[in-house]
Structure 1
Amino acid sequence: MGTSIELCIGNVSLSYSKNHMGIDYGFLFQEGDLFDRNMDPIAYGSYEEHPEEMGELDEAEELFARTLSRILPRLEILGFTLEAARAEYQAVVAEAVELDSYSELEEKKYEYLSFEEFCNLACRYPLSDLKSGYIEYETPDRDMLSQGRFAADIDEFDRIPWTDNSDSYWSETSFLSARVCILSAESMLRVFALNAANAEVEVTWAFGSIVHAGWVQREAFLPGAQQKQKVLIATEGVSDARIIRRSLDILRPDVADFFNFVDVNERHHFWGTGNLVKFAEGLLRIDVLNQVLFVFDNDAEGVDAYRKLEKLTLPGNMRAMLLPDLEDFREFATLGPEGVSVSDINGRAAAIECYLDLRLDQYPPPQVTWSNFKKDIGAWHGALDYKDSYSKHFYDQSDDLLRNGSYDVSKLLKLNDALIEQAGLLTP
C-alpha cells in the first residue's frame, strides 16, 4: 500500500517514487505551470497492485505541466544535452557488457544498440499515438498484447540493457517506459525530443496525491530554478545588466529565472572593465561556490579585460564571455582621424547598445567614433554615437512590441543565445 509520484511525458513514465518525493523536478517548470486536473489512474503503476486506491484519484490533483518544447531550453542551460545523454547511455551499456562477461549463458551476451539505434527505437512512434489502456493479467497472450505495435520490434528491445523494471508493463506506454526509459529523466526527454511530433506533448509531475496522503508537505513542490542552479551575471555597468535582464525576461522567458544580476536597479558596485576584473579576483580569493558569468562588451576595452580574466584560470563555476561577434558589425560606419569609413567593429566598438534596434528616424544612420588605441591588444576602441538614445528607445517599447512589433530584436536574440550557451557550460 502507498502513494506514488511520477514524472511523465504523455503517459510514459520517466521517474517513479513511492511514499516519498524522490527527485525534485520543480526546476523543469515555472510559475504558471501549476494545474488541477483529473488524472488517468492507469498512469500510476501502484494502482496495478492496489486497484481499490483508484478512487482516490477521482478528485482533481495538483500537478506541474509543460510541453516538451518548452522544457528543452531549461535542460540545455543545465547541461542536459544530447551528448550528455549519449555519454550516459554508453556508461549503462558498458556496465551491462561487464555484467555479461560474468555470465556463462550465451543468450545473456548481447550486441547492444548503439546510441543512434536506441534513439531511433525510442522515437519510432509519436508518444501521443501510444495506447495506455490496461491489459488484464487473465488476457490470453497478455505480454504480446501489452507490447502492442512494439511486439514487432522485440528483437531490438532485447538489445537494450536490462533493468529491474524491464518486465513490468501492461500497455504500450508502460512497455516503452519499462524497456527504453533506462536513462535519467532529463536524458530521456532529450532523446524523445528527437521526434518532432513529440514537441507539444506535455511533461507532467503529478504530486497532489502524495501530498494528500501526507507523505510529503505541499511546500516541498516549488517551480523554478533552484538556488544552486542559478547563474549570477556580472557586467561592466548597470546599462548592460538592465538591457540583458529585460531582453531575457521578454525574449527568453523560459529560462529567465536561471539568471540573477548584480544591482540591476540600484547603484553598480563596479563600473568599468577594470573593476569587473577586480571583482572576479575577489571572488576567486574567497572561493565562492555560486555560478558566475562575467560579461564584457565586445569592444577593445572589453577584449583587453576579458584576456586578463582568462589568465586567472577560472574554476568550473565561473566563466567569462564577450558579447558575441555579429555579421551586422563587420561593415559598420565609423569616424576617425581620416574621416568616415566602413570598418569591422567586432572586438573594437560593439558595446551593449549596438545590439539594440539602431533605426531612429530623428538621428542619422548609426556610426561609431574611434577614441583611443589599446596597445595591449593592438586595436582602436570606439563608441556608438547617441548610444543613450538607442537605450531610451529600447526602454520605451512595451513588452508586446518587443515580442511581436517592428522593433528589431534579432541582435538581442543572438546575444541571449550566446549567454545561455555559456551559462550551460558552467559546472556547479
Structure 2
Amino acid sequence: MGTYTTLYLGDFELVSSKSAVIPEVMTVFVESDRRSLWRRADNDAVVEGPLKDDDTLREIEYAVEIAAAIQRLDIMGFTLERCRREYEQIRAEELRGYREADEEEGGSSDVSDSFYDAEIAKYERLTFDNYVAAFKDVLHRRIHWYDLEPDQRAALDATASYILADQHDEWHFFGFLCQDIRMFLRMALSLVRPEMYLRQDVSQLVSAGWVREENPIRDDAVRLLIDRYPENAPRIVLTEGSSDAEILRKSLSVLFPHLVGYYTFFDFHGSRAAGGASQLIAVVKAFAAAGVANRVIAVLDNDTAAHDARRALQGVRLPDNLAVVHYPARDWLREYPTLGPSGNIPLDINGKAASIELYLGRDALMTDGHLCLIQWAGYSQTMRAYQGELLDKSSVTERWRVKVDKCLADRSSIVPADWDDLRAVWVQIMCAFPA
C-alpha cells in the first residue's frame, strides 16, 4: 500500500499521486488556501472536532473556489482558448503520425491495417468539443472506471470509454491531450459551478510522515518549478513609480485577494530606481535584453508623456513574455474639469492626463464637493498635445489610503462603485497577454 494525495473537483476525484503532490497542480493554490478540518467517516460531513466515538477523520487540504482557480490559471497563461488550441495541435500530430505509419506499412498485414484504422478513427472522433461533452457527462454523473460493472462499461459510448479507461496516465489525464496537467484542469473547471471548490487533500502525506505538518507544502512544491517554466513564477508588474506600485499592490488585495502572490512589483525604493515613463521604457528594454523568463507587464500612465515615451519602443521587437499596457480609457474621464489658459473647462483627459490617481475613485478625487482639477502643463510637439497633471495628488492619494486600509480591515465596507476604475486597471493587466 502506498501513500496517496488526491485532487478533488467538488467531491469528484480528478487525480491521485503517490507520496508527493503534483507541483504543477499546487501552482493553482496559495498557502492561505490551506485548512485543517474533521470529517465524519460515515458521510463526509464536516464537524468542529473529533467525536467521542472516534468516527471522525482529520483532513489537511488546500481548497480554492472554482472562480478563483480559473482566474489564477488564466493569469498563468492556461486559458480555455489555449487548452483548445494545444489539444487540437496534439490531436492533429497523432492523426498525422498514424496516417503516415499506415502509408509506410502499405497494408502489409491485416493486423497492422486494423490497428492503424482504429487509431485514426479514434483521433478523428476525439475533437476538443466531443471530448469536453463526454467528460462533462462523466463529471456530472461522477463515473469512475473502477466503479462500473462489465456490462456498464460495455454500454459506454466510445469517447466516454476512452476517457474512463485512461484516468491516470502521466501525461493524458482522463485521456485529455496535453503536456501540462493545468490544461486539463482549466478545461475541467469550466464545466462546474464557480462556487464549487477545487481541493488538494494532503492528509496522508502528513500522517505518513512524508512531510511535516508545519511545512508549507504548496510553496515547497512550487519552488521546484520556478526554474523550469515562466508560468510557475509570479508575473512582474513594472510601473512608472513607487506610488503606482503601492496602489496596484494594495488594490489587488482588496479586489482580487486570491491573486496575491501571482503578481510581484518592481521595488523602486529598494533599487533606488528613478521613476517616470521614460525610465520605465528603459527598464522594459533592459528586461527584454536580459532574457528575463517571467511574464512581465509594464504599466504606463494614460497621458501625453507616457504615450510619447512609448514611441521609443517603435521598431523594438519585445519577447512574447513582455507586454506594455496603459491605464485604460474611462468614459467618465471624457468630461473632466481642467484648468488652462481659458479657465476651468471640462475636457477629455484620456490619453493626456490619466495618471494612476485618476483611477482611485471619485470619492478620493472629491474636495469640497468638487473633483480635483487637472492643470495643463507642457506641450509635446511630437504628440501635438498638452500634458495634464492632477492638482493636489498627495491629498487624493492620502484619502485613498484611508479608504483602502478601511476596506482591508473590514471587507464589508467595500463599495463596488468606488473601485470600478482600479478594477478596470487590473482587468487590463490580466489581459495583457493574448490567449
Equivalent residue, structure 2, for 1:157? 160
Equivalent residue, structure 2, for 1:203? 198
Equivalent residue, structure 2, for 1:54? none
1:130 aligns with 2:142: yes
| Correspondent of 1:340 among 336, 340, 344 | 344
Q: How far apart are 1:179 and its partner, in Å?
A: 4.7
1:276 aligns with 2:276: no
Per the alignment, do residues 126 and 289 of structure 1 end up closer, same or farther by CA in structure 2, a change over 3 Å counting?
closer
1:121-158, CA deviations, whole angstroms, 9 ceiling, x for partnerless residues? 3234764x6367974xxxxx8134479xxx5x614435
Give the letter for the 1:75 counterpart.
L
Equivalent residue, structure 2, for 1:52? none
| Correspondent of 1:236 among 207, 231, 240 | 240
Equivalent residue, structure 1, for 2:92? 94
State the alpha-carbon separation in 1 of the partners of residues 39 and 173 from structure 2.
21
State the alpha-carbon separation in 1 of the partners of residues 253 and 269 from structure 2.
15
Contact kept? 2:296, 2:322, Cα under 8 Å: yes
1:410 aligns with 2:410: no
The answer for unaligned runs of 5 or more in structure 1 is 43-56, 136-140, 170-176
State the alpha-carbon separation in 2 of the partners of residues 18 and 401 from structure 1.
40
State the alpha-carbon separation in 2 of the partners of residues 236 and 96 from structure 1.
48
State the alpha-carbon separation in 1 of the partners of residues 354 and 269 from structure 2.
24
Give the letter for the 2:343 counterpart.
G
Give the letter for the 1:130 counterpart.
R
State the alpha-carbon separation in 2 of the partners of residues 168 and 262 from structure 1.
42
1:222 aligns with 2:218: yes
Say what the alpha-carbon RMSD is for the aligned residues.
3.6
Per the alignment, do residues 332 and 211 of structure 1 end up closer, same or farther by CA in structure 2, a change over 3 Å counting?
same
More displaced stretch, 281-290 vs 294-303: 281-290
Could you tell me the percent identity over the aligned residues?
Answer: 25
Q: How far apart are 1:59 and its partner, in Å?
A: 4.2
- Counterparts of 1:133-212 in structure 2, within 5 Å, are 135=147, 142-145=149-152, 151=155, 154-157=157-160, 162=162, 166=165, 179=174, 181=176, 183=178, 184-195=180-191, 197-212=192-207
Per the alignment, do residues 133 and 112 of structure 1 end up closer, same or farther by CA in structure 2, a change over 3 Å counting?
closer
Per the alignment, do residues 389 and 126 of structure 1 end up closer, same or farther by CA in structure 2, a change over 3 Å counting?
farther
1:104 aligns with 2:132: no
Q: How far apart are 1:79 and its partner, in Å?
A: 0.5
Per the alignment, do residues 264 and 3 of structure 1 end up closer, same or farther by CA in structure 2, a change over 3 Å counting?
same
State the alpha-carbon separation in 1 of the partners of residues 2 and 290 from structure 2.
47
1:80 aligns with 2:84: no
| Correspondent of 1:69 among 67, 71, 92 | 67
Q: How far apart are 1:215 and its partner, in Å?
A: 4.8
| Correspondent of 1:365 among 350, 368, 371 | 371
State the alpha-carbon separation in 1 of the partners of residues 95 and 143 from structure 2.
32
Q: Alignment partner of 1:35: what SS?
A: strand
State the alpha-carbon separation in 2 of the partners of residues 321 and 96 from structure 1.
39
Q: Alignment partner of 1:418: what SS?
A: helix
Equivalent residue, structure 2, for 1:326? 330
The answer for unaligned runs of 5 or more in structure 2 is 43-54, 103-111, 227-231
State the alpha-carbon separation in 2 of the partners of residues 71 and 406 from structure 1.
22
Equivalent residue, structure 2, for 1:23? 23
Per the alignment, do residues 402 and 214 of structure 1 end up closer, same or farther by CA in structure 2, a change over 3 Å counting?
closer
Contact kept? 1:233, 1:262, Cα under 8 Å: yes
Q: How far apart are 1:300 and its partner, in Å?
A: 0.4
TM-score relative to the length of structure 2: 0.77
1:261 aligns with 2:265: yes
Q: How far apart are 1:320 and its partner, in Å?
A: 1.9
Q: How far apart are 1:114 and its partner, in Å?
A: 2.8
Equivalent residue, structure 2, for 1:355? 359
Aligned residues between the structures = 390
Q: Alignment partner of 1:60: what SS?
A: strand
Q: Alignment partner of 1:312: what SS?
A: coil
1:119 aligns with 2:132: yes
**Which has the larger share of helix?**
2
Q: How far apart are 1:76 and its partner, in Å?
A: 0.7
Equivalent residue, structure 2, for 1:48? none
1:243-292, CA deviations, whole angstroms, 9 ceiling, x for partnerless residues? 11110111111112112223366685212222223333444454444443
Q: Alignment partner of 1:269: what SS?
A: coil
Equivalent residue, structure 1, for 2:58? 60
Contact kept? 2:374, 2:388, Cα under 8 Å: yes
Contact kept? 1:252, 1:416, Cα under 8 Å: no
Give the letter for the 1:199 counterpart.
P
